[in-house]
């Protein structure tokens, strides 16, 4: 079994919460970690299914929620359908509305400006979303690049 660090993290989370360690959860985590990028539940289900035909959509769906709770995955919603990415350092996204490409970026200055603004309203920030939608470099140079 690959991804031993993550598998162990999942195992620890399950134990700490009196949840059970099943083949399905292990398999779904494995496939998820191999799938690069920002994958939808449906796509992940297809990927899982090609390797483990007996695993149902519901289990994939529930397992992704579980992985989010366990801190192994993050859920995003750019266009009305949830997408999952492997948990890593905090970052925001540039989303190309033509080709669907997603670029990650980080900006310490924006982070601190956010905190300053929230503080000025006495607001306690628990999470945030910051997404820039537009056209990536490739999609601008290809035809139909106006508007």
Partner DNA sequence: CTGAAAATGAATGTGATTTTCAATTTCATT
Partner DNA sequence: AATGAAATTGAAAATCACATTCATTTTCAG
- Contact with DNA (CB under 7 A): which of 30, 31, 39, 63? 63
Q: Map the footprint of a copy of itself across residues 84-113, applying CB under 8 A.
A: 94, 96-97, 103, 105, 107, 109-110, 113
From a copy of itself, DNA, none, interface partner of 140 (C-beta below 5 to 8 A by class): a copy of itself
Asked if 9 contacts 72 with a C-beta cutoff of 8 angstroms, the reply is yes
CB 60 within 8 A of CB 22: no
Residue 114 Cβ vs DNA, minimum distance, rounded to whole Å: 25
Cβ distance 98 to 139 under 8 Å? yes
Q: Whose CA is closest to 27, among 7, 42, 57?
A: 7
C-beta closer to DNA: residue 65 or 135: 65
Instruction: Report the C-alpha gap between 83 and 73 in whole angstroms.
Output: 10
**By the rule CB under 7 A, 16 interacts with DNA:** no
Residues near DNA (CB under 7 A), total: 27
Query: Of a copy of itself, DNA, none, which one does residue 41 interact with (CB within 5 to 8 Å by kind)?
Result: DNA
Written as six digits, the tokens of 66 are 């579980």
Distance CA 33, CA 86 (A): 7
- Of residues 92-111, which lie at the interface with DNA (CB under 7 A)? none
Nearest to 95 by CA among 34, 33, 32, 38: 38
> Binder to DNA among 6, 25, 30, 32 (CB under 7 A)?
25
Stretch that binds DNA, among 30-38, 55-63, 103-111, 123-131 (CB under 7 A): 55-63
Degrees to nearest 5, angle at CA 141 with 140 and 145: 50
Which spans of this chain sit near a copy of itself (rule: CB under 8 A)? 94, 96-97, 103, 105, 107, 109-110, 113-114, 117-118, 121-137, 140
């Amino acid at each position: 079994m690959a991804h031993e660090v993550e598998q162990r993290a999942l195992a620890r989370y399950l134990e700490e919460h009196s949840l059970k360690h099943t083949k399905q959860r292990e398999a779904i985590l494995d496939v998820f970690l191999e799938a690069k990028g920002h994958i939808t539940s449906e796509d992940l289900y297809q990927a899982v299914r090609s390797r483990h035909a007996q695993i149902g959509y519901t289990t994939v769906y529930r397992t992704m929620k579980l992985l989010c709770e366990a801190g192994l995955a993050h859920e995003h919603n750019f266009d009305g359908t949830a997408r999952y990415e492997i948990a890593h350092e905090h970052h925001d996204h540039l989303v190309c509305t033509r080709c669907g490409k997603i670029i990650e970026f980080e900006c310490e200055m924006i982070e601190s400006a956010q905190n300053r603004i929230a503080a000025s309203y006495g607001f306690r920030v628990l999470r945030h979303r910051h997404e820039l939608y537009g056209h990536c470099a490739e999609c601008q140079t290809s035809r139909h690049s106006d508007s």
